[in-house]
């Protein structure tokens, strides 16, 4: 629970700093993406007054990350559950 609270505070702080137009705000966020077959992917995002203003490219992928990407395909059900929750 403490980890979730810390993450929520960190995310809220980053959003507020972005609204103040601090151009150095880069955080990881789940965004609509074509990195994999999944509809969303965690990427580094520059935040600003308009929200996510720039989605950074993934960059080089080593073997460890490649295996993780292959396993990520199993997250389709979790992503659909999150989308359904948001659309309620």
Domain containing 56 — which CATH number? 3.90.110.10
Burial of 18 (0-12, 13-18, 19+ CB in 10 A): buried
- Please give the chain's pLDDT, 88 residues, in tens: 677 888 888 888 888 888 887 778 898 888 888 878 888 888 999 888 888 889 999 889 899 988 988 888 778 888 888 889 989 8
Number of structural domains found in the chain: 1
Q: What pLDDT, on the 0 to 100 scale, is given for residue 79? A: 85
Q: Which domain holds residue 8?
A: 2-87
pTM of the model: 0.68
Q: What is the spatial distance between Cα 22 and Cα 85, in angstroms, rounded to a whole number?
A: 31
Q: What pLDDT, on the 0 to 100 scale, is given for residue 56? A: 92
Q: What pLDDT, on the 0 to 100 scale, is given for residue 55? A: 92
């Amino acid at each position: 629970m403490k980890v979730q609270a810390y993450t929520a505070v960190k995310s809220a702080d980053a959003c507020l700093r972005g609204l103040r137009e601090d151009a150095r705000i880069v955080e990881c966020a789940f965004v609509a993406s074509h990195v994999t077959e999944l509809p969303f992917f965690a990427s580094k995002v520059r935040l600003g007054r308009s929200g996510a203003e720039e989605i950074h490219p993934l960059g080089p992928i080593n073997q460890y990350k490649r295996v993780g990407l292959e396993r990520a395909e199993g997250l389709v059900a979790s992503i659909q559950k999150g989308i359904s929750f948001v659309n309620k």
